[in-house]
Amino acid sequence: MSPEFRKKIKNVLFIDIETIAGYPAYEQMPERLQQLWDKRADVIRKRAEFESWSNQDLYYEQAGISAEFGRIACIAFGGVFFNEKDEPALKVMSYGGDKEVEILLNFKNIIERYRPDQLILCAHNGKEFDFPYLCRRMLINGLELPPALQLSGKKPWEILHQDTMELWKFGDFKAYTSLDLLAAVFGVHSSKDEMSGDQVTRVYYEEKDIEKISRYCREDVVVLTQLYLKMHLQPIIKEENIIRVTG
């Protein structure tokens, strides 16, 4: 790695979030939210694959992608450093559990350790999903946004966030390219061996296996980091130099 890239990569925090429906079932939502979800469901059903789905089924399968109807079950993040052999290494940590506010507070404390004018947050589809979802859920939980997530009023060049999906678009905004597809294209090991993102709500409420979700979230960060390195024509990090930690 060049000295310039080494300096830059130390300020990049790779992140991923796993989100779930806010309640175990449609019927457990407050009545006011049920009525508002019914309106949202009418919009979702305009997509052919959902046209025959009930409001209840749509809630369980789709509410997690909305910050108004879902919540965060896990946040994973990782940073690159150089070990005693001066080899690039990666430390990945995750915070998961039943108390969303604690997950958010722990993550907030982490990113506030960085200088906001230097910290680069990186996620796949982060500008459309992870970053706004984090901001919305922090405000819903009554938390002040950390400087790195205070986006209102900033000019585009003042926001240091990076998005591997946006990097891959090269100005082409017509299509969505998944992290798993890019990983396959670049020869990076998949994070989908144990589960996939559309199973998170079920694993949380039915299997009650938050550690399984946390492992999946951490592996997404590993894949994201390796992909970022590939996209910058850098060697990926050796498996023996990856440290995984549960917060």
pLDDT digits (tens, 9 = 90+) for 124-145: 999 999 999 999 999 999 999 9
**Over 80: is that where the pLDDT of 247 sits?**
no
Residue-wise pLDDT tens digits, 212-235: 999 999 999 999 999 999 999 999
8 A C-beta contact, residue 145 and residue 208: no
226 within a domain of the structure (yes/no)? yes
Average pLDDT, the chain: 91
**Overall number of domains in the chain:** 1
119: tokens are 């910290």
Is 82 within a domain?
A: yes
How far does CA 222 lie from the centroid of its chain? 12
Residue 128 belongs to some domain of the structure: yes
Intra-chain end-to-end CA distance of the chain, in Å: 30
C-alpha 90/C-alpha 148 separation (Å) is 21
113 is in which domain, residue-wise?
3-22+69-246
Does 163 map to a domain?
Answer: yes
Q: How far apart are CA 190 and CA 179, in angstroms?
A: 9
Cα-Cα-Cα-Cα torsion 104, 5, 87, 122, nearest 10 degrees, comes to: 20
Confidence of residue 3 (pLDDT cuts 50, 70, 90): confident
Domain assignment present for 215: yes
Residue 30 falls within a domain, yes or no? no
pLDDT digits 0-9 by tens, 66-121: 999 999 999 999 999 999 999 999 999 999 999 999 999 999 999 999 888 889 99
Angle (CA) 122-161-210 rounded to 5° is: 40
CATH of the domain at 223: 3.30.420.10
Q: Which residues of 78-113 are buried (b: 16+ CB within 10 A; e: fewer)?
A: bbbeeeeeeebbbebbbbbeeebeebbeebbebbee
* Any domain includes 109: yes
pLDDT of residue 5: 85
What residues form DSSP beta bridges with 21?
70
113 and 77 in contact (C-beta within 8 Å)? no
Q: Is residue 41 part of a domain?
A: no
Region 160-183: what's the mean pLDDT?
Answer: 88
Cα–Cα distance measured from residue 191 to residue 185, given in angstroms and rounded to the nearest whole number:
14
Q: Which segments of the chain are extended strands (E)?
A: 12-21, 70-82, 88-96, 120-123, 162-163, 242-246
